[in-house]
Structure 1
């Protein structure tokens, strides 16, 4: 079993060794329990290893870092204050006196050691692009210099110093991501000695894990040791695992769950939205893009003209009607951040160009190769299933050939995509912070890390542009990067979807984020 897959599967079970008897306690004894339908088990309960927005939300319920977002603004969390050096590269954080839920003190050493485990290769990570801001990050990771030279160090128990490679306008915002959260010494030790008996997850956030039954539910209790527990109203949160969105909606209608929809579960199919009262439905804009990833290392999609033909043949307006509320994608970057002019081709112009690009591609691509193209997608998503079938029909109508489609169970889908065993694949990217470079830097090799590149596309010109963009905020560089992506089409942007969810009226103080997250910390139930 691959190491990364091993970590993702095993970490949730760390919470099973102790505390299972509490699973049998009556939940009715808890007056304020929020019940949320989620589509899958968490991929990990280690905050440093989460990447799905659902799992980020769970991590933020269980853990706390230096900074936390609240109503769209950044607020210090475990940091009481910080100072910034004159060159704007050295951040010194002075920590509040806070505790893990077992009573241990949270220290600056917890932060330092949790981050350095990535560089000691004790923990796999899916968000190294965010850690790339830290001084000497790449050199330490490669083994060129010792980990002691990494720009993270605890000066004492209550003081943490982080030095950056260069000034960054978004560094404080990135600190809200769980990759920067500390984990308890018991979990750090587990990674160092895999033969040790598993330990429960000890956390420091608004909630703690009472019990976990995989493929059934995850039950969280209010953390009595949380430093800001006065702002936590809920007694508990029950995350009920319901893979099928239709079943989840039925449970919502019967009042067995209080909250359903994105980011916790799949998108609502249009027919499900019609069955729900408008009084229960809500949506919010999210910095995301739904795309088709092209496997540029396999024939025939190694041909850029063919990729351009596919992109131009797709009618995005029709896809958006199937997907929900949002906007069509004329760039991978969200419209609120994009610098590209909004030039939308007419249907006639688009189809004509698509056919021209296909004719160019067929000069070197045999016709029979087109029949080998297969588009994979997660079969649990009713919305994506409809979108994929519509794309298949559109390509046939415009270009005259049919691709194959293959729906896969979600974890099998992720596995195939990560191994590059696909021609085309659905995908969705949600920004980690509110800047265009949060989209552009996940492609090419601008961050020097191939940590979460679902497509192995390398373009030196693009890499050079993004490398400069990460250091300097430049509209000209951003436009160049966006234009090059559209020209090369390693991915095909489809639409930017607003997140829709349903909640019962008693659920209040639900805080949403443009990064897709829903924060459970301040949620209250009002009868």
Structure 2
């Protein structure tokens, strides 16, 4: 049952409190003696700090080490985390969360409302330098913009502890999807005493204190993360999986080989291999919609190349890329070609009609691309030289090579640059690139999770696209009775200005061991928790 700001909390609390909180093992299922789960990571995790992490892979780990106010079930519906339920004021601007009294940190201390107050203030505080500080602003938490700008003290943030187990949050605008935003890792609590005692080392294995179902016992950067069941977790008795291990393997083909050798329980399927693997391993190869969009971000800011400041050049680049070839010949895993930013499976979203997507075929797009590039002074006789940067992955490399061949046909020479994840993202954040492979996975199932990213106040607008009309649409959407028309107008601006090149909308294309149960099957966010997993006996 979803939380709605118009619902009374008492009935809602009952609806949530009796749902399964950890592994829900059906009667008659035999569990394996080995309750260990090993999954694949493409890149090293940049930070184990909930307020600092920005990566999807980091979130998968942090979701097991920490727990926020709410979690998601296998269908993407909210279920209790530290919060059992909440009440909402009549004006929709004050949320009062009732916290469970049995929540504990892994050192045995109780989790209290003050832990959330400290952590949310820490997120908004400019001293923390979090790329996700803007999330407090997106959540409309009172005084967040002023705090982030450095104009107001973090103590003025609209959050307070009424008592140890009652948390009050004030927001400036009613947001129907506000509770859904609380599953994001940046809102997870951290223990103030641990942060202050150990400084930057507080996230090290053996030092990190979390409140999740698991505790960190080993972290070899770029190699492995090992988590063991946390006996202090409030629902530890129902956690079946004893150990969760993440292995970092930069080569997806090598990762697949290790999966087939039994070293991994879950791995992404490399581009182009899903049809074969589905035929050979029908119970293990799966493809489901996934709330992520793959793009090439264009650096249109001051540090970007002069050519990309010309909208005709940006449109030409976008028009010349044949998404059907990328999806149908390279990926072959159920992904969909994209001509816009917001993922097609986002709740309530419908893409507006876009001329280049709906009224042209690919041959016409290529011809238009040549015309636009010629108007900008470029073409086969005077090629445009650009660099395309991507992070280490054979799949990203294949797509980049295909894109470079497509763009060469209209008079663009692409130099391909490959960097490991941390360097890649650092370069993007410093605007040290021309074009860069980028993907955004929604923080929640609502279109604003995509569209807010390209506002001028976003913490992730690494292409420095600034548009007043776009900003106004997204700000107005927060108070609109129905924001969907505004989202469509925002998408139209992106199509007209083309600060990003949409490539495709993701699908989850995985190999999953047949004896692993409890992974979400109908959650477009693919939000999973180790506490929900179990391994069956053969």
Confirm or deny a common fold (TM above 0.5): yes
1:92 equivalent among 84, 96, 105: 96
The separation in 2 between residues aligned to 1:187 and 1:242, in whole angstroms, is 31
Does the aligned pair in 2 maintain the 1:56–1:517 contact within 8 Å? no
The separation in 1 between residues aligned to 2:381 and 2:175, in whole angstroms, is 49
Give the equivalent residue in structure 2 for 1:374: 387
Give the equivalent residue in structure 2 for 1:11: none
Does the aligned pair in 1 maintain the 2:37–2:245 contact within 8 Å? yes
The separation in 2 between residues aligned to 1:39 and 1:260, in whole angstroms, is 9
Structure 1, unpaired ranges of 5+: 1-28, 262-266
Give the equivalent residue in structure 2 for 1:104: 109
Deviation at 1:272, TM superposition (A): 7.4
Give the equivalent residue in structure 2 for 1:116: 121
- Deviation digits for residues 382-407 of structure 1 (CA, Å, limit 9, x no counterpart): 1111111111111122x133221112
Give the equivalent residue in structure 1 for 2:415: 404
Give the equivalent residue in structure 1 for 2:287: 283
Does the aligned pair in 1 maintain the 2:379–2:412 contact within 8 Å? no
Query: SS state of the match for residue 300, structure 1?
Result: helix
- Deviation digits for residues 214-246 of structure 1 (CA, Å, limit 9, x no counterpart): 233211111111112243210111212222212
The separation in 1 between residues aligned to 2:418 and 2:487, in whole angstroms, is 35
Give the equivalent residue in structure 1 for 2:536: 526
The separation in 2 between residues aligned to 1:369 and 1:102, in whole angstroms, is 65
The TM-score normalised by the length of structure 1 is 0.87
- Deviation digits for residues 105-145 of structure 1 (CA, Å, limit 9, x no counterpart): 10011110111123443423222332111011011222333
Query: SS state of the match for residue 495, structure 1?
Result: strand
Does the aligned pair in 2 maintain the 1:151–1:163 contact within 8 Å? yes
The separation in 2 between residues aligned to 1:284 and 1:405, in whole angstroms, is 30
The separation in 2 between residues aligned to 1:391 and 1:431, in whole angstroms, is 25
- Deviation digits for residues 439-467 of structure 1 (CA, Å, limit 9, x no counterpart): 1110022xxx3412121111111111111
Give the equivalent residue in structure 1 for 2:316: 309
Give the equivalent residue in structure 1 for 2:340: 331
Does the aligned pair in 2 maintain the 1:249–1:272 contact within 8 Å? no
The separation in 2 between residues aligned to 1:514 and 1:140, in whole angstroms, is 33
Give the equivalent residue in structure 2 for 1:211: 218
Give the equivalent residue in structure 1 for 2:7: none
The separation in 2 between residues aligned to 1:65 and 1:144, in whole angstroms, is 28
Of the structure 1 ranges 484-493 and 458-467, higher mean CA displacement relative to structure 2 is found in 458-467
Query: SS state of the match for residue 465, structure 1?
Result: helix
The separation in 2 between residues aligned to 1:465 and 1:195, in whole angstroms, is 42
1:389 equivalent among 401, 407, 421: 401
Does the aligned pair in 2 maintain the 1:300–1:370 contact within 8 Å? no
The TM-score normalised by the length of structure 2 is 0.85
Give the equivalent residue in structure 2 for 1:47: 50
Query: SS state of the match for residue 193, structure 2?
Result: helix
2:133 equivalent among 123, 128, 133: 128
The separation in 1 between residues aligned to 2:484 and 2:460, in whole angstroms, is 25
The separation in 2 between residues aligned to 1:489 and 1:254, in whole angstroms, is 44
Of the structure 1 ranges 404-413 and 458-467, higher mean CA displacement relative to structure 2 is found in 404-413
Query: SS state of the match for residue 372, structure 1?
Result: strand
Does the aligned pair in 1 maintain the 2:381–2:411 contact within 8 Å? no
Number of residue-to-residue matches in the alignment? 486
Structure 2, unpaired ranges of 5+: 1-31
Does the aligned pair in 1 maintain the 2:473–2:486 contact within 8 Å? yes
Query: SS state of the match for residue 489, structure 2?
Result: helix
Give the equivalent residue in structure 2 for 1:33: 36
Does the aligned pair in 1 maintain the 2:126–2:150 contact within 8 Å? no
- Deviation digits for residues 453-499 of structure 1 (CA, Å, limit 9, x no counterpart): 12111111111111111332323312211101001000011110201
The separation in 1 between residues aligned to 2:535 and 2:441, in whole angstroms, is 29
- Deviation digits for residues 121-175 of structure 1 (CA, Å, limit 9, x no counterpart): 3423222332111011011222333333210111111111100011001110000
Query: SS state of the match for residue 189, structure 1?
Result: helix
Say if 2:149 is the partner of 1:142.
Answer: yes
Shift of the 139–80 alpha-carbon distance from structure 1 to 2, 3 Å rule, reads same
The separation in 2 between residues aligned to 1:439 and 1:197, in whole angstroms, is 29
Shift of the 421–196 alpha-carbon distance from structure 1 to 2, 3 Å rule, reads closer
Alignment of 1:464-479 (within 5 A): 464-472=472-480, 473-479=482-488
Deviation at 1:89, TM superposition (A): 0.4
Does the aligned pair in 2 maintain the 1:371–1:404 contact within 8 Å? no
Does the aligned pair in 2 maintain the 1:430–1:516 contact within 8 Å? no
